[in-house]
Structure formats: C-alpha cells, structure tokens
Amino acid sequence: MPIIKLEAAKVTPEQKEKLIADLTRVASEGLGVPEEFFYVLIKENELDNWGVGGKTLTKFMAERSKK
C-alpha cells in the first residue's frame, strides 16, 4: 500500500479533496498500482512553523507584500 505524504500550510477542504484525487491519480498512473491502494496524508502547518531566510513565513510574506 503506497503512502503519499504532503506537508503544506493550511488548505481548504476543497483543496484537500483535489490534492488527494490528483496525487492519487498521478501516482497510480506512474507506478501502475490501482488507485484504491493509495493512502494520502496531508499534514498542515501554521505559517509560523515555517522559516524562510531566517524569518517565520508569516513575517516573510508580510514584508514581501509591502514591496
């Protein structure tokens, strides 16, 4: 049973459904394994749990939007 793990920022329920369907389809085609054997795990992280350039992603994005 293949497992697909994805770490991301917060995503909507609609985005999760699309990600799960798309990732499963592509992996199934690529590996030649039927879709029903795949498990997909989406781990959501708060923006403050990510660091970019020595800053939290929240701060990085705020500074970038000011430019």
Residue 2 is among the residues annotated as catalytic for this protein? yes
Of 1, 37, 38, nearest in space to 19 by CA: 38
Please give the Cα distance from 30 to 2 (Å, whole number). Answer: 12
The catalytic position among 2, 26, 55, 64 is 2
Please give the Cα distance from 44 to 11 (Å, whole number). Answer: 7
Active site residues: 2
